[in-house]
Amino acid sequence: MDIYMPEKMLILKFRKNDLSTDSGKQIEFSGASAMKFFGIPANKNSDDYEFIYKAKDDYKSDKNDTRIQVQLKRSNQRKDYKIYPPKSFEDGYYEGSLKDFLLKDLGLCERNNSNDYLVFYEVGEKKIGFSYYRSDSMFVFDKESKKTEKNNDSYNLVFYGAPGTGKSFEMKKNTLDGSVVRTTLHPDSDYSTFVGSYKPTMRPEEAVGNSKNVKEVIAYSFVKQAFLKAYLGAWKKYSEMEGGNGALPKQYLVIEEINRGNCAQVFGDIFQLLDRSENGFSTYPIEADDDIRKEIERSFKNDYKLSSVLKINTVVDGYISSIPGSDLSHDVQEGRVLLLPPNLYIWATMNTSDQSLFPMDSAFKRRWEWKYFPIKEDVNKKWYISFGEENNLQKCEWWRFLKEINRRIGDLTRSEDKKIGFYFCKAQKGEIKQEAFVGKVLFYLYNEIMRIYGIEDFFTDENDTKEEPISFQSFYKEDGSINASKVEEFLKKMGLVQAIQSVKSYTIDNDNEEISANELIHKTLEKYIDKNNTESAEDIVKKWNSEMGLNLVTTEEIDEADSLEDGHGDLIYIKRVLENDDLELFIQKVQEKFKIKIKLSTKNIKKNK
């Protein structure tokens, strides 16, 4: 079954509370996504739409074409757009909110469906179709294509996923058993740069008479590109095994970043060759244009010379040559017809985060098999980010960083596409230095996420606690070196670095008991009374206040004040705790006047954000 892929669509992954039974919690779109998809002007805070349910795979098909009135309202705090029901319902519309429809009519719930998706697409002016997708069926691309246990059984295969998930590494590992021709698509790629065309080249001029002066002149000649090189190489290998035993030598055409090019323009009529029969040959051969025909015929006799005559007349059902007296074998050898042999594998990679200028149509996608690469930890690699000043470097676990950052990206974009994989930034001996971290990872986050979806929202955690954003330029000093303190600050704001809190404690007269600053007066006075237990409370108060000069104690009763008894049972009240400025003076006076030793010790304690 084809999946309808409209020109303009919005994929919403349910987030925390979207499917909560709490009627006060509304489903919402991120501000940037809503403004881009719905076209809501920046100065407009609300707009009305009609949502129409389109059942996928017959899920709740009895509810198909249910029409729901909704009002999108912008939140002043987060700038998101929440989906509210109208104040009154018109005839013919669902009497409830979108959330009511999802919970009551589609039977969704927070426990079972919180990882699932809604897909929205335009069906008319202010009319939005939407479908429900389970998480295990939600692939942006067609999952109906045949799945095989071995990648090598797939003639046309796309490795796709977020950047850094290991697609290119897996591609390299799986193509070691054959020859590889590699190319990369980009927005300027076309048929001529993918297949081949005539180009001006330099060649020696023919000598005249006995002249030994040979000049190079400009001449036009056909220049083969990646597809044609792989195509000719595959047939050459095929001819070497014609009539022999053993496996056919494999020829791979690897296309990196396939979605960055205009695939319709790049592949042209080769698109038809991608359909393969069970024997591995193209189901539908195509006619080659005259330039390509001549180059193939020449190549099969020279640089890609066939080892034997091809015997392939029976590999395509019902084939009849357009040339009287010819057949498929001759048509392929003479370049008149293009036909992919069974040892030619066309494999491609695709980053789902790349903003493709040219969307692939469903007919093109259907001719490929798709292998998804999820974001996962490489448990064999204990990578870490090093940050801080050179003489005091700290570490943050790379996988811990990725989990937190990808959670924020998912909450902000409602998409898996923009998340980053484990191999996004390469470590050197397990270490990702802060220069690489800022230049590659933070640059991506600021340029691809925060710039589009909002820097303020990125610095808002899952509990809606806002942190003051950090600008990207602040990660660099004026001389271009890394501002280590800002890297540490960023990681702290993400909750990934434990803040260091310095805790001071005191001991008196070499006792082992550690006491805090708030207890210092009480414990020191207690020690003094032990040593001078014959003095009265009045004498102690007078001596401590006059000689200390801090007015700390009194014999007058103070409600709820800390107190202790003198040697006669009379109470002494402590009037206040010591402030920072008083602490040093207090310790100095106690040691000078009363010969009581106070020792300060400081411990650094890691404190969670």
SS3 label, residue 458: helix
> pLDDT, tens digit, for every residue of 454-469?
888 888 766 666 778 8
When pLDDT is averaged across residues 163-170 and rounded to a whole number, the result is: 92
Angle made by CA atoms 84, 459, 495, in degrees to the nearest 5 = 120
> Residue 31, Cβ neighbours under 10 Å: how many?
21
> How many whole angstroms separate alpha carbon 382 and alpha carbon 377?
9
Could you tell me which residues are beta bridge partners of residue 265?
Answer: none
* Spatial distance between the Cα atoms of 543 and 549, rounded to a whole number of angstroms: 9
Report how far residue 233's alpha carbon sits from residue 305's, in angstroms, rounded to the nearest whole number: 9
If 0-12 CB within 10 Å is exposed, 13-18 middle and 19+ buried, where does residue 281 land?
Answer: buried
Q: Give me the mean pLDDT over the 470-479 stretch.
A: 92
Local confidence band at 78 (pLDDT 50, 70, 90 cut-offs): low
| Pick from 574, 596, 587: nearest CA to 528 | 596
Q: Is 294 helix (H, G, I), strand (E, B) or coil?
A: helix
Amino acid, single-letter form, for residue 459:
F
- Token pair for residue 482? 């890394």
Per-residue pLDDT band for 141 (boundaries 50, 70, 90) equals very low
> Where are the domains positioned within the chain?
9-133, 151-202+219-371, 384-497, 502-607
pLDDT (average), residues 65-79: 82
What per-residue confidence (pLDDT) applies to 242? 64
Percent of the chain with pLDDT over 90: 42
Question: What whole-number distance in Å separates Cα of residue 571 and Cα of residue 569?
Answer: 6
Single out the residue of 119, 162, 350 nearest to residue 257, CA to CA: 350
pLDDT in tens, 250-263: 999 999 999 889 99
Q: Among residues 329, 299, 331, 298, which one has the least CA distance to residue 311?
A: 329
Q: d(Cα 229, Cα 248) in Å, to the nearest integer?
A: 18
Phi–psi pair at 184, nearest 5 degrees:
-125, 130
The predicted model gives 563-592 an average pLDDT of 81
pLDDT value of residue 148 = 31
What is the 8-class DSSP label of residue 515?
B
Q: Give the C-alpha distances (Å, rounded to integers) separating 326 from 232, 242, 356.
A: 21, 20, 43
- C-beta separation of 47 from 71 below 8 A: yes
- Spatial separation of the C-alpha atoms in residues 380 and 383, rounded to whole Å: 9
Q: What is the pLDDT of residues 398-447, one digit of tens each?
A: 999 999 999 999 888 887 778 999 999 989 999 999 999 999 999 999 99
CATH fold of 151-202+219-371, please?
Rossmann fold (3.40.50)
Structure-token pair, residue 1: 């079954």
Give the pLDDT score at 397.
93
* Residue 78 φ/ψ region, left for φ over 0, alpha for ψ in the -120 to 50 degree band, beta for the rest: alpha
Gap between the Cα atoms of 472 and 485, Å rounded? 13
CB 48 within 8 A of CB 69: yes
Please state which CATH number belongs to domain 9-133.
2.40.330.10
Exposed, middle or buried by CB within 10 Å (0-12, 13-18, 19+), for 445?
Answer: buried
Q: Tell me the two tokens of residue 203.
A: 């060649």
C-alpha closest to that of 271 among 195, 198, 174: 195
pLDDT digits (tens, 9 = 90+) for 296-339: 999 999 999 998 889 999 999 999 999 999 999 999 999 999 99
pLDDT of residue 235: 96
Distance from C-alpha of 213 to C-alpha of 218, rounded to nearest angstrom? 16
Quote the pLDDT of residue 425: 93
**Top mean-pLDDT range of 85-89, 166-170, 516-520:** 166-170
Residue 76 has a pLDDT of: 64
Cα 600 from chain centre: 49
Three-state DSSP state, 227: helix
More confident site: 67 or 528 = 67
Residues 6+ apart with CB under 8 A from 465: none
| Residues with Cβ within 8 Å of residue 360, at least 6 apart in sequence | 259, 263
Unique residue bearing structure tokens 């007349």? 313
pLDDT of residue 70: 92
pLDDT tens column, 4-60: 445 567 888 887 678 888 766 778 887 667 777 787 776 778 889 999 998 876 788
The whole-number average pLDDT for the span 59-83 is: 83
- Read off the tokens for 289: 């244009």
Among residues 82, 56, 53, 51, the alpha carbon closest in space to that of 1 is found at 56
pLDDT grade for 142, boundaries at 50, 70 and 90: very low
| Residues sharing a CB contact under 8 Å with residue 368, sequence separation 6 or more, in sequence order | 145, 156, 157, 158, 274, 348
pLDDT number for residue 4: 41
Reported for 561-565, long-range contacts at CB under 8 A and 24+ positions apart, including other chains, are 562/521, 562/522, 564/522, 564/525, 564/526, 564/529, 565/529
Grade residue 149 by pLDDT with cuts at 50, 70 and 90: very low
Residue 324's pLDDT is 93
Model confidence at 211, in pLDDT bands (50, 70, 90)? Answer: low
Residue 289 backbone zone (phi > 0: left; psi -120 to 50: alpha; other: beta): beta
State the DSSP string of 583-601. HHHHHHHHHHHH---EEEE
Q: Kindly tell me if the per-residue pLDDT of 542 is higher than 90.
A: no
